[in-house]
Chain A
Amino acid sequence: GAVVSQHPSRVICKSGTSVKIECRSLDFQATTMFWYRQFPKQSLMLMATSNEGSKATYEQGVEKDKFLINHASLTLSTLTVTSAHPEDSSFYICSASLAGALNYGYTFGSGTRLTVV
């Protein structure tokens, strides 16, 4: 089945630094990937839709300059949290579906726990 790999699983960084999170589709091509953010004991909130070869589409209230998304190939999307602050600490999750699929089959990565100190 479709596998999405997310890396790193955990990262601790200092306030003011940037952190990059990778999301890879291992056995399929994904023209579209999605990035979610999840606070403790809360639901997943969609941050942005990452489109291969074009700019990401951000949800209302999500800062484009803070959360940089790059989808350079059909198997890789990256989320960079720039100038991280403690309030950016959260669980970040990516998801992807088979390119062109109409069966709504979305696979999620295992998530990245970001802690900003």
Chain B
Amino acid sequence: GENVEQHPSTLSVQEGDSAVIKCTYSDSASNYFPWYKQELGKGPQLIIDIRSNVGEKKDQRIAVTLNKTAKHFSLHITETQPEDSAVYFCAPGKDGYIPTFGRGTSLIVHP
């Protein structure tokens, strides 16, 4: 199965700073690369995803970049706000995909 690692496990930033979370995976056949945000006491929400035929995707303050050769993809959040504080999970996969989550990154944005 897919071996997924996320770094860092905890990220603390000041409001307005940028945050970057990296996800490394093992299966070279993976072709779907999503990021989920989980707020305290809630289920995960898909915030952005990318497929293997694209290197970068942006949606307002968030973006995902993919390096298939190196088998990693990253979540970028610019101009962070306190409401961005949450746990972020990556869950790469391929055809017949069932989300298998990384360990998560706790992002703390200090006002």
Contacts and interface: CB of A to CB of B under 8 A. Distances in A.
A43 B43 contact: no
Specify which of A41, A44, A95, A105 lies most central, judged by the most chain B CB atoms within 10 Å of its CB: A44
Contact of B101 (A6, A44, A111): A44
B55 interface: no
Nearest to A102: B95
A110 B42 contact: yes
A64 B93 CA distance: 26
A46 B89 CA distance: 14
B101 A109 contact: no
Interface string A96-117: 0000000011111111010000
Interface string A17-43: 000000000000000001000000111
Q: Is the interface of B mostly helix, strand, loop or mixed?
A: loop
Interface in B25-60: 32, 34, 36, 41-46, 49
B44 A44 contact: yes
Given A46-B100, A104-B93, A111 B42 contact: yes
Nearest to A111: B43
What bracket does the count of chain B residues touching chain A fall in?
A: 20 to 34
Contact of A43 (B93, B97, B103): B103
Contacts of A111: 41-43
A6 B101 CA distance: 20
Given A43-B89, A44-B89, A106 B99 contact: yes
A113 B104 contact: no
Contacts of A41: 106
Contacts of A93: 43-44
A49 interface: yes
Interface string A39-57: 0011110100100000000
A42 B104 CA distance: 7
Contacts of A108: 36, 43-45
Interface of B: 32, 34, 36, 41-46, 49, 89, 93, 97-104, 106
Given A46-B100, A105-B46, 5 more contacts: A34-B99, A42-B103, A44-B89, A93-B44, A104-B97
